[in-house]
């Protein structure tokens, strides 16, 4: 979907840019080529190259070096910098929907790549009072908690997902971020969180955007909770890429329309 | 002008290609990047990289290896091949305008890069009875004649441009190809060939396309000669590039219109 979003946004602002999709196996050569093609301004990095690209960058934001992956590369004055926009995109989606993060207890479900990016971004930039992470892969979950403790000052705890851990931690949280694939098409009736735990003073974000309204978000809305769909994170991570490449304010509404049209 | 021509032609045929202009200093890295960006299908090579690119190719047409330069690169099944389309473009312009080359005496004016490409293409593919080259740079002219004699079977002679050499060789030729910058904007009143040497049974091609009708072509037309403008060579070299990249027949008329619109 990225070519559709960014090309439409370039056109909207009349910018002489084009976004193209390239299959890549040789990351080193691709990055050398990006340097050699002088007006090649930036790129997105997708799985499986988000970590492999790092040795080929001149600069990386501290938070992204800590996360160990980037999804965006921008070349400025011959220097190639990497950054991640998934975590900042999630945070921007929350704050633009009016969800306060500072001094709040945030519950993060999941410990994979997206959860890791969101956790570090929150730890670096959002000043939550506490961050709790529930996951199902013990090694990955432990590593995330350990890295957060070693490399940031956030107050973090983690536990395996159980009925008991969910009950206790949803109750304690003001913000719940679901960062696992559960509920994604075609398993649209699944949710990690029992609906009776949801309540009106909880803000619930789901990073799944297909469907736009997951079972979790439906359940949360029924209970009167504020809900933020994965669409908002997806649009905002693209907005941050666009702004890194062009130095211009992104046409957010147009970009959201493209995503909606492509999802529809 | 190449982005305008090729992008218009891609659109005409509904092809999912885009042609972009990149400044390049590091040829090796650019070519490695072309390989790594897997659906990067082809490129044009311009001065000063037409020779430097050759060590980075997997294949090169014999004629282009002999010329020592290419202007086109195409990637097929992971193999990167170089070719030149200036010589074939000039030849195609001549033959499409009804100018026979086989068993004809061809007079070529100039010994630079374009003249060299045209001379070798004619020697490999056109079977002229004789090729005469007149130039003004002795070393370059001698090298071209020597290379043609060593590497092709064409009957070739060369001489410096003088009133006498022009008079004798224009008289002997059925086809005259002007491949020097003389007459190019802003020096539009200049011509290498005295107009009294031109005659109606001579075909005259000028590789200069700005202006479209050079002083040489005006003089030739007044004498009733068949004239072929540099526009035709320019369009045809682009046509041959387009066909090498896409494997489709190029929309020649549309491409010619783009060139004319950009020149106008």
Per-residue pLDDT of chain B in tens (264 residues, 90 and over written 9): 999 999 999 999 999 999 999 999 999 999 999 999 999 999 999 999 999 999 999 999 999 999 999 999 999 999 999 999 999 999 999 999 999 999 999 999 999 999 999 999 999 999 999 999 999 999 999 999 999 999 999 999 999 999 999 999 999 999 999 999 999 999 999 999 999 999 999 999 999 999 999 999 999 999 999 999 999 999 999 999 999 999 999 999 999 999 999 987
Largest distance between two CA atoms of chain B: 57
DSSP bridge pairs for B206: B178
Contact A23 B38 (CB under 8 A): yes
Closest CA to A253 of A16, A10, A9: A9
Q: What is the token pair recorded at B71?
A: 């202007």
Q: What is the token pair recorded at B76?
A: 């097929």
Closest CA to B89 of B2, B31, B23: B2
Is residue B83 within 8 Å of residue B72, measured between CB atoms? yes
The residue with tokens 């031109």 is B198
- Measured between beta carbons, the chain A residues lying within 8 angstroms of B40 are 22
**Res. A101 pLDDT band, cuts 50 70 90:** very high
> Rounded mean pLDDT of A90-115?
97
The residue with tokens 């003249």 is B115
Chain A, residues 40-69, CB within 8 A of chain B, namely: 40
φ and ψ at residue A260, rounded to 5 degrees: -60, -40
Contact B32 A27 (CB under 8 A): no
Distance of CA B33 to CAs A47, B27, B39, B43, Å?
A: 19, 10, 11, 12
**Which three-class secondary structure string do you get for chain A?**
CHHHHHHHHHHHHCCCCCCCCCCCCCHHHHHHHHHHCCCCCEEECCCCCCCCCHHHCCEECHHHHHHCCCCEEEEECCEEEEECCHHHHHHHHHHHCCCCCCCCEEEEECCCHHHHHHHHHHHHHCCCCEEEEEECCHHHHHHHHHHHHHHCCCCEEEEECCHHHHHHHHHHCCEEEECCCCCCCCCCCCCCCCHHHCCCCCEEEECCCCCCCCHHHHHHHHCCCEEECHHHHHHHHHHHHHHHHHCCCCCHHHHHHHHHHHHC
Q: What is the token pair recorded at B12?
A: 């005409």
The Cα angle at residue A156 between residues A153 and A158, in degrees rounded to 5: 155
Label residue B247 left, alpha or beta by phi (over 0 means left) and psi (-120 to 50 means alpha). left
Is residue A223 within 8 Å of residue A199, measured between CB atoms? yes
Is residue A237 within 8 Å of residue A71, measured between CB atoms? yes
* Radius of gyration, CA atoms only, chain B: 19
Q: How far apart are CA B71 and CA A245, in angstroms?
A: 31
**What is the model's pTM?**
0.85
Q: How far apart are CA B204 and CA B176, in angstroms?
A: 5
HSE-CB of B66 using CA atoms within 13 angstroms: 23
Q: How far apart are CA A24 and CA B108, in angstroms?
A: 46
User: What confidence tens digit (pLDDT) does each residue in A22-53 have?
Assistant: 999 999 999 999 999 999 999 999 999 999 99
Q: Does A35 touch chain B (CB under 8 A)?
A: yes
Closest CA to A148 of A182, A184, A121: A121
Q: How far apart are CA A94 and CA A77, in angstroms?
A: 33
Is residue B183 within 8 Å of residue B218, measured between CB atoms? no
Residue B264: per-residue pLDDT: 75
Q: How far apart are CA A54 and CA A77, in angstroms?
A: 19
Q: What is the token pair recorded at B150?
A: 């060593």
- Compute the nearest-CA separation of A59 from chain B (Å): 20
- Here the ipTM equals 0.77
Q: Does A33 touch chain B (CB under 8 A)?
A: yes
Residue A7: per-residue pLDDT: 98
Residue A264: per-residue pLDDT: 75
Contact B33 A33 (CB under 8 A): yes
Q: Cβ-count burial of A175 within 10 angstroms (0-12 exposed, 13-18 middle, 19+ buried)? A: buried
Q: How far apart are CA B219 and CA B237, in angstroms?
A: 26
- Measured between beta carbons, the chain A residues lying within 8 angstroms of B25 are 36, 38
Chain A, residues 183-202, CB within 8 A of chain B, namely: none
Closest CA to A251 of A1, A19, A14: A14
Is residue B141 within 8 Å of residue B160, measured between CB atoms? yes
Residue B99: per-residue pLDDT: 97
């Amino acid at each position: 979907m990225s070519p559709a979003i960014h090309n439409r946004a370039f056109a909207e602002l009349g910018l002489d840019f084009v976004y193209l999709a390239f299959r890549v196996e040789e990351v080193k050569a691709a990055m050398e080529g990006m340097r050699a093609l002088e007006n090649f301004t930036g790129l997105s990095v997708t799985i499986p190259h988000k970590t492999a690209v790092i040795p080929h960058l001149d600069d990386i934001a501290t938070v992204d070096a800590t996360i160990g992956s980037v999804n965006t590369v921008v070349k400025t004055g011959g220097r190639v910098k990497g950054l991640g926009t998934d975590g900042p995109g999630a945070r921007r989606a929350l704050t633009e929907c009016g969800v306060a993060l500072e001094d709040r207890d945030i519950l993060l479900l999941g410990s994979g790549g997206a959860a890791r990016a969101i956790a570090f971004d929150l730890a670096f930039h959002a000043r939550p009072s506490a961050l709790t992470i529930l996951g199902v892969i013990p090694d990955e979950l432990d590593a995330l908690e350990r890295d957060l403790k070693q490399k940031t000052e956030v107050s973090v705890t983690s536990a395996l997902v159980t009925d008991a851990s969910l009950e206790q931690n949803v109750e304690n949280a003001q913000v719940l971020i679901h960062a696992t694939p559960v509920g994604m098409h075609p398993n649209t009736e699944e949710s990690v969180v029992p609906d009776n735990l949801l309540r009106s003073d909880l803000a619930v974000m789901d990073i799944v955007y297909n469907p736009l309204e997951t079972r979790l978000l439906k359940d949360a809305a029924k209970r009167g909770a504020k809900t933020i769909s994965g669409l908002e994170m997806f649009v905002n991570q693209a907005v941050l890429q666009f702004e890194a490449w062009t130095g211009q304010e992104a046409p957010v509404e147009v970009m959201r329309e493209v995503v909606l049209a492509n999802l529809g």
